[in-house]
Amino acid sequence: MSEFTIRVTDLDAGGKEYRFPVRPAWIRGALEGHEATAGKRDGALEVRASKSGHDVVVHGTLDAELEVPCARCLEPFALAVHSDVSVLYVPAARLRAESQGKGGEERVDEGEADALPFDGETVVLDDLVRDELVLEVPMIPLCSEACPGISPPPGKQDEADPSEGKVDPRLAPLLRFKDKDKKE
């Protein structure tokens, strides 16, 4: 079942405004297997959809809250997502027919690269919303620029590491090379 659908029969050239809630439960399902997950608050997808011939033009914004782990301290933090959405939906049958090249091979023209298919009766925005959420997660998410990283457990900071100064016996031959260079 799709969460964000627009019936094409409800549209005309003047367009129509849509506001969809982006619920945390939907985000959890859509981002299953991704390091980002849903935040605590509902988001919103606000779009204006209009027909242009048989195509559907969708413009709007996506606002949501994700929870992602910090790359330094590994603690989860809330990441606000705000993304401008602009896409052209083309009937899938027409897109397939136009992409067939000579000899039956598929080709994609430069203008078709930004077009997404729809079934002719309904435009489903679910995949678009998921893609926008994933693309808004930074490659290296940080809870703050000043994040110090992983800190030792409480009470362990004052104790010296007992293994410090000891060398693994398997590395002893390398240590002899190091000492030999210092003497020369």
Asked if the structure places residue 83 within a domain, the reply is yes
Residues 121-174 have pLDDT tens digits of 899 999 999 999 999 999 999 999 998 887 777 765 555 555 556 777 888 888
Q: Is residue 163 part of a domain?
A: no
Does 175 map to a domain?
A: no
For residue 182, is it within any domain?
Answer: no
Maximum Cα interatomic distance, the chain, rounded to a whole number of Å: 87
Which DSSP helix (H) or strand (E) runs through 93? Answer: helix 92-99
Number of domains in the chain: 1
Section 82-111 average pLDDT:
68
In a 10 Å sphere around its CB, with 0-12 CB exposed, 13-18 middle and 19+ buried, how is residue 115 labelled?
Answer: middle
- Domain residues for the domain of 53 are 5-136
Does residue 141 belong to any structural domain of this protein? no
Given pLDDT bands bounded at 50, 70 and 90, which one contains residue 108? very low
**Cα(47)–Cα(57) distance, rounded to whole angstroms?**
10
Instruction: Give, in order, the Cα–Cα distances in Å from 101 to each of 32, 40, 95, 150, 152.
Output: 37, 48, 12, 55, 61
Domain assignment of residue 31, yes or no: yes
Q: Is 14 a domain residue?
A: yes
92 vs 115: CA distance, rounded Å? 10
Distance of alpha carbon 47 from alpha carbon 64, whole angstroms: 14
Is 45's pLDDT higher than 90? yes
Highest-scoring range by mean pLDDT, 2-16, 36-50, 164-178? 36-50
Query: How long is the chain?
Result: 184
Identity at 72, one-letter amino acid code? R
Residue whose token pair is 């242009």 = 52
